Amino acid sequence: MYTDKVIDHFRNPRNVGYLEDADGVAQIGDPRCGDYLFLFLGIRDNRITEARFLCRGCPAAIACASVTTELVTGKHVDDAWMVSDEAIVEALGGLPEEKQHCSNLGATALHAALFDYFERRNRQEPPPSGLDRPEATDEQRD
């Protein structure tokens, strides 16, 4: 069963919407279930000032996207890069075993949006964790 935090973020999702002139954007889908997430980051001086999302997905996916925007707002991009799917699950007080994968949508979109930002700025140095760029599958690109 879902935690109170998951239910709260699902019923009252934070930071829903589109961010015009976003500095980092990602569209990630899960081909297994068809859920997808758009994430928009506003970044000033390497710090995330705004995060917005649009999601078509299950309650867990919506809650994960919502809490991801809360976790990263105000963070330096290098610290935001370290936000993992485990951190997202922890921030929600846990997810049922069969819903653990839903957190991947938030974390993958976050990393893809940060990569988009790094590419736009022609950032030379790699992100601190050494993680590779999230690769979209053919289904995710559609």
- Tell me the C-alpha to C-alpha distance, in Å, between residue 35 and each of 22, 53, 78, 123: 22, 13, 27, 31
The closest of 96, 93, 38 to 69, measured between CA atoms, is 38
Q: Cβ closer to ligand FES: 105 or 107? A: 105
Span from 20-28, 56-64, 87-95, 106-114 in contact with ligand FES (CB under 6 A) = 56-64
* Interaction between residue 35 and ligand FES (CB under 6 A): yes
* Interaction between residue 50 and ligand FES (CB under 6 A): no
> Active site includes 58?
no
* Smallest distance, ligand FES to C-beta of residue 100, A: 9
How far is residue 67's CA from residue 57's CA, in Å, rounded to a whole number? 15
* Interaction between residue 26 and ligand FES (CB under 6 A): no
> Active site includes 64?
no
Cβ neighbours of residue 80 closer than 8 Å, sequence gap 6 or more: 48, 71, 72, 110, 114
* Interaction between residue 58 and ligand FES (CB under 6 A): yes
CB of 41 within 8 A of CB of 21?
A: no
* Smallest distance, ligand FES to C-beta of residue 2, A: 12
* Interaction between residue 85 and ligand FES (CB under 6 A): no
Phi and psi (nearest 5°) for 104? -60, -30
Applying CB under 6 A, the residues found at the interface with ligand FES are 30, 33, 35, 57-58, 60-61, 102, 105
